[in-house]
Structure 1
Amino acid sequence: MNQSKLYISPSVVIESMRDNGYKNTAYATAELIDNSIQAGATCVRLACFEKYKTRGKQIEQIAIIDDGKGMPSDVLHLALEFGGSKHREDEKGMGKFGMGLPNSSVSQCRLTEVWSWTNPEEILYTFLDIDKIKNKELESIPVPIKKDLPEHIKQAFNGEIPNSGTVILWSHLDRLHWKTSKSIKLHTEALIGRIYRRQLSAESEYNKGRNPLRIVFQCYEFNDLTKSYLEISSESFKPNDPMYLYTDTTLPKLPDPFSQVSAFSINDVEPIEIEYEKGKYSTVTIRTSVLKPEVNKALRATTDANIGGTVWGKHMKKNIGLSIIRANRELDLISDYYINDNNAKDRWIGVEIEFEPVLDQFFGVTNNKQGANKIKYIPIDVLTSEIIDTDGKTKAEIEEEYWSYLKEEDPLGEQIIRINITIKELITKAYEKISNLGYGGFKSTEQDQTDNLVVKTDVANIQATTAENNRIAEFPINEDEAEIDVEGYKKHLIEEGLPEEEVEKTIKEIITNNLKVKFEYRDGLDDFFDIASFQGFTEIRINTAHSFYSKFMQNANEEERNLLNLCLAAWGRMEKEASSNIKKECSNTRRRWSKMLEEYLGDAVE
């Protein structure tokens, strides 16, 4: 009797495996840096090799180069297999999933080459070639062979190849998020500095008794005369600490006499013991930090406005969120985790949760190490309403019944929910402390407290702002650095004929809700919608006299209207990111489409 064998053909699935969820090139390179750190590297180099093309300079290759312990032939052979890494055997290691090298590489390029050595006299080489796999020229990773390093890679070592190490070289870069070394560095340095802040800072507990890790960004440019690459820049990444507990970071030096002092101090530390399997325990630690009163005073002395507008406040604004730490490196910074930036107060707190890799399944850690799906705050009344019959019961009775139910039916889920509630409670305590200290312009009188109340805004503005912030985190442009041009926007609203009282209310709505995008409905516009930018803020105006508004939007439900508004916000962001010549064409296209839409809807049935 013939037995069939189940298998997956590499030539069929390789392209689909490339869509593996990496947010951008920076996160993909972080996977490789994880491997280098786990291999004991003291220096990791991220090298970009550029050539001039018809459209200007473009990256030809990217290399991650380290001086770690290197890999013998059998380990190197496994390293490019999906799930084949020896890191699976290290329960506490960064890269225990065994997917990082091949997963991250195929997400960015079509050819991945790896050189590794445990002594410089015997450098081994293998590769993963998507085109050869698709064409069925390769069905497995080639057995490593001896092969010398390319000359331009040797150059990145500054002429001295270490006794052991690994080089990963990406070529045929068809899925890079950014095409030049300048943009790679712009989008990578803050993220890499934040992910590996503990490894990079000489002040961290991680580096007690040893030198901090160096991660160096190097850029090389091909010279057509010499037919070789020349180094044009080399710069070490600095730690970027959202807790603001170190002094050797990317935060600009604080004013004297605090230039050698950390900006924040620890506010709370809460260890929680978790039983993740029967008889197996691990500790989760939640920490919050707050801006020091003396530092707050020094920063306020530098400006007549709120310190959120200073270079320090702007830096802190980019690091708002819950930092998730696993194996001493950051997985994610959740910017909207129970954090609502009211008059900039959240810039003055830090919060992080730390756990070991043994809790990966418990927290729902993704295999590309970009997040933990189960770390999300849901109010307990929402949770209880899904399970408990609440009729005729007090709140205390409902909660007691809910926790009893969870302990019996879902003990792991109960621990997750309690952790999320604890994070929320510690954030609330940090808020209370900074509010009592008057940070961010908060006042104590009844009238001033009334002045600081949030002005309600449409949910579409919040949704569009969240989407815009997510886009900014991955694809920032210079305009994003600027604070909203309040005076310019006021002038614009007055010219629109808005009453002064309405102008002040609109400005307060934007500031207190920290809006990046706001929708306005006006008649008398030339097009269905137009877009106006005021530095870090975008107004999208929708023409109520346009037939699309009267025939659809006016009668749409809230969900439908919000979805359409988000489509318009995406268009607005596209125009902002476009180069000047393309921006003009986008604007012209928007106008032509608006007129054509009017024509097509002219005879539509009411």
Structure 2
Amino acid sequence: MNQSKLYISPSVVIESMRDNGYKNTAYATAELIDNSIQAGATCVRLACFEKYKNRGKQIEQIAIIDDGKGMPSDVLHLALEFGGSKHREDEKGMGKFGMGLPNSSVSQCCLTEVWSWTNPEEILYTFLDIDKIKNKEIESIPAPIAKELPEHIKQAFNGEIPNSGTVILWSRLDRLNWKTSKSIKLHTESLIGRIYRRQLSSESEYNKNKSPLRIVFQCYEYNDLTQSYLEVSSESFKPNDPLYLYTDTTLPTLPAPVSKISAFAVKDIREFPIEYEDGKFSTVIVRTSTLKPEVAKALRATTDDKIGATVWGKHMKKNIGLSVVRADRELDLIADYYINDNNTKDRWIGVEVEFEPVLDQFFGVTNNKQGANKIKYIPLDKLASEVVDTEGKTEAELEAEYLRYLNEDAPWDAKVTEINQAIKDMISAAYKEIKDIGFTGVKSSSLSNTTMTKTDPTNIQATIAERQRAEEYGIVGDDAEPDVQSISEHLKNEGFPEEEVEKTIQEIIANNLKVMFEYREGLDDFFDITSFQGFTLIRINTEHSFYSKFMKNANEDERKLLNLCLAAWGRMEKEATTNIQKECRNTRRRWGMMLDEYLGDAVE
């Protein structure tokens, strides 16, 4: 009697399946977050568990933890099979290829464990172990069994396991791009925030009738004394919107008077109906957005340089490109898609193309959901030259002939080409509007009749850092507006001229400052810190040897870095208890005196 054999031996192919094209660890974790969102999760936790090794801290495990609807035994058994997911049955859902969980997992680790439950009294467990598959110890995913969650995973739930949910735990992490939780967070927060901006923003249409999704980054360190993991940080991801239409994003707070509005406004929207099956249509939507004139004016007023050099301009520069959105999540940001300006000033516009999963084949979506191969701009005359006679024909004639050819021989390709051409035209129109208004390359010193008050960019950067710190480690007074009356009285008591006090107050109000630096003579210490409700004034002594021997001749970047160090000290003093604050002030004074002694004989 002949025994049936596996068509493909898992032990032979498993290693090659690990090279499945994920750009990095952040994109791999996004696959798992997709599954959580599709399972109806309201909170997804990305938890890193670290231990100290010979070379310092290193991640031992990564977990994706959610409070979604969970999986019964039969669904869980399929979830780790390549192509076995039930998500194929949801033609509009994020996950559709049935490859996300096993594909992303094997790209990063050798052991993937999954716990899932539809009620917390019966938690089911199974796993995918690459080493056991390679050694032919197992050739299929084990049937789920009842198994309790590990204690450190329970801890990540903050003591209360939800009524349903799923935990995916990666161990034996041999293919991570980054080895520490700090690096993981640094490289994922902007990307995760951009991929799931619609789910995370309270202002998006996606959340019109529900609360925004929370994606939380948690870090745990192993304590040898307690033999357990202790939480060292927990922070929610913010949306990162490349169209800049939301206000609750990672973009630093805009300066007054535009601090409470979005940076961009919608410029144009076009829709393209696509027949993907006989009688069935789906709509492709293309949007562009442009920087608002009033925002451009406010940004110009903060600098004597181009506004691209400000913290807002630098943020926008990182989001240059065409955002490809599928099922309300970003697949890719194509940075080089018809950049209209050689100096990449297109950061003052945003553009996205949006479609449903039923158009995956139409756009050539990859099964790891990291791109759409057919969304790319190629000049039509170049395409035409490959299939039609070019001799004696103008560019317009070539384009028209090429489109006729496509409509006859490949109607889908014709429609894709039409959409790509429309995106290019919309980008050109958006950029023309910006160029005509003159947003790019204009220095504030060239402006006239403006009521804005300029400030040192370091004041802005320190203010942004102060606000970000306050969000995570808030203290009394953080939410208060700067007490301008107290500031004014303090400056007057210090002997400031009336007109200088007024100028300083206007600068604080106009730029929505929480931190401000000032240089002056006659201070007792190298630097002095005065805190009011909602405001910190840092004064630097221009008569101190450190100022005369270093700061006076330092370049802008060096001075900015030192000032931000002083701002961090100021925040530390504010967060300290009363007794510690007194010791901080004494230490600051002693250090300033010692610094003066050490530098006294230094060469100028």
Q: TM-score, normalised by structure 2?
A: 0.72
Q: Once the 2 structures are TM-superposed, how far is the Cα of residue 390 of structure 1 from its aligned partner?
A: 2.2
Matched residue SS, 1:177:
coil
The 5 Å alignment of 1:239-258 reads 239-258=239-258
Residue aligning to 2:486: none
CA distance in 2, matches of 1:213, 1:4: 47
Residue aligning to 1:17: 17
Q: Once the 2 structures are TM-superposed, how far is the Cα of residue 5 of structure 1 from its aligned partner?
A: 5.4
Residue aligning to 1:391: 391
CA distance in 2, matches of 1:244, 1:49: 34
Q: Does the 8 A contact of 1:116 with 1:165 survive in 2?
A: yes
The 5 Å alignment of 1:287-306 reads 287-306=287-306
Tell me which amino acid in the other structure corresponds to 2:315: H
1:362 aligns with 2:367: no
Matched residue SS, 1:51:
strand
Tell me which amino acid in the other structure corresponds to 1:104: S
Q: Once the 2 structures are TM-superposed, how far is the Cα of residue 394 of structure 1 from its aligned partner?
A: 4.4
Tell me which amino acid in the other structure corresponds to 1:205: E
* CA RMSD after TM alignment: 1.6
Matched residue SS, 1:173:
coil
Tell me which amino acid in the other structure corresponds to 1:300: R
Q: Once the 2 structures are TM-superposed, how far is the Cα of residue 404 of structure 1 from its aligned partner?
A: 1.8
Q: How many aligned residue pairs are there?
A: 445
Q: Once the 2 structures are TM-superposed, how far is the Cα of residue 345 of structure 1 from its aligned partner?
A: 2.2
Matched residue SS, 1:441:
coil
Q: Once the 2 structures are TM-superposed, how far is the Cα of residue 279 of structure 1 from its aligned partner?
A: 2.5
Q: Once the 2 structures are TM-superposed, how far is the Cα of residue 178 of structure 1 from its aligned partner?
A: 0.2
The 5 Å alignment of 1:104-503 reads 104-441=104-441
CA distance in 2, matches of 1:94, 1:118: 21
Q: Once the 2 structures are TM-superposed, how far is the Cα of residue 6 of structure 1 from its aligned partner?
A: 6.2
Q: Does the 8 A contact of 1:343 with 1:440 survive in 2?
A: no
Q: Once the 2 structures are TM-superposed, how far is the Cα of residue 441 of structure 1 from its aligned partner?
A: 1.9
Q: Once the 2 structures are TM-superposed, how far is the Cα of residue 157 of structure 1 from its aligned partner?
A: 0.2
Deviations 1:244-303 (A, max 9, x none): 000000000001121110000000001111122332211000000000000000000000
CA distance in 2, matches of 1:300, 1:41: 42
Residue aligning to 1:41: 41
Deviations 1:528-566 (A, max 9, x none): xxxxxxx9xxxxxxxxxxxxxxxxxxxxxxxxxxxxxxx
Tell me which amino acid in the other structure corresponds to 2:441: G
Matched residue SS, 1:405:
helix
Q: Which piece of structure 1 moves more, 355-364 or 396-405?
A: 396-405
Q: Does the 8 A contact of 2:380 with 2:402 survive in 1?
A: no
CA distance in 2, matches of 1:27, 1:170: 15
Alignment CA distance shift 1:50-1:288 (3 Å) = same
Residue aligning to 2:463: none
CA distance in 1, matches of 2:211, 2:393: 59
Tell me which amino acid in the other structure corresponds to 1:71: M
CA distance in 2, matches of 1:3, 1:112: 31
Deviations 1:491-530 (A, max 9, x none): xxxxxxxxxxxxxxxxxxxxxxxxxxxxxxxxxxxxxxxx
CA distance in 1, matches of 2:406, 2:100: 35
Matched residue SS, 1:298:
helix
Residue aligning to 2:589: none
Deviations 1:421-466 (A, max 9, x none): 00000000011000011011259xxxxxxxxxxxxxxxxxxxxxxx
CA distance in 2, matches of 1:94, 1:344: 32
Q: Does the 8 A contact of 2:306 with 2:442 survive in 1?
A: no
Tell me which amino acid in the other structure corresponds to 1:37: I
Tell me which amino acid in the other structure corresponds to 1:436: D
Q: Does the 8 A contact of 1:276 with 1:412 survive in 2?
A: no
Alignment CA distance shift 1:155-1:2 (3 Å) = closer
Tell me which amino acid in the other structure corresponds to 2:332: D
Q: Does the 8 A contact of 1:308 with 1:344 survive in 2?
A: no
CA distance in 1, matches of 2:303, 2:90: 51
Alignment CA distance shift 1:62-1:2 (3 Å) = closer
CA distance in 1, matches of 2:176, 2:281: 41
The 5 Å alignment of 1:510-521 reads none
Residue aligning to 1:596: none
CA distance in 2, matches of 1:70, 1:4: 34
Tell me which amino acid in the other structure corresponds to 2:70: G
Q: Once the 2 structures are TM-superposed, how far is the Cα of residue 340 of structure 1 from its aligned partner?
A: 4.8
CA distance in 2, matches of 1:377, 1:397: 19
Segments of 5+ residues of structure 2 without an aligned counterpart are: 444-556, 558-604
CA distance in 2, matches of 1:395, 1:308: 35
Tell me which amino acid in the other structure corresponds to 1:437: I
Matched residue SS, 1:193:
helix
Deviations 1:157-197 (A, max 9, x none): 00000000000000000000000000000000000000000
CA distance in 2, matches of 1:207, 1:324: 20
Tell me which amino acid in the other structure corresponds to 1:10: P
Q: Once the 2 structures are TM-superposed, how far is the Cα of residue 344 of structure 1 from its aligned partner?
A: 4.9
Matched residue SS, 2:330:
strand
Residue aligning to 1:490: none
Q: Does the 8 A contact of 1:344 with 1:440 survive in 2?
A: no
Tell me which amino acid in the other structure corresponds to 1:197: R
Residue aligning to 2:483: none
Matched residue SS, 1:11:
helix
CA distance in 2, matches of 1:227, 1:144: 29
CA distance in 2, matches of 1:32, 1:272: 31
Segments of 5+ residues of structure 1 without an aligned counterpart are: 444-534, 536-606
Q: Once the 2 structures are TM-superposed, how far is the Cα of residue 83 of structure 1 from its aligned partner?
A: 0.4
Alignment CA distance shift 1:395-1:334 (3 Å) = closer
Q: Once the 2 structures are TM-superposed, how far is the Cα of residue 100 of structure 1 from its aligned partner?
A: 0.3
Structure number with bigger Rg: 2
CA distance in 2, matches of 1:96, 1:299: 43
Residue aligning to 1:544: none
Tell me which amino acid in the other structure corresponds to 1:280: K
Q: Does the 8 A contact of 2:84 with 2:98 survive in 1?
A: yes
Matched residue SS, 2:386:
helix
Q: Once the 2 structures are TM-superposed, how far is the Cα of residue 3 of structure 1 from its aligned partner?
A: 9.3
CA distance in 2, matches of 1:400, 1:292: 36
Tell me which amino acid in the other structure corresponds to 2:311: V
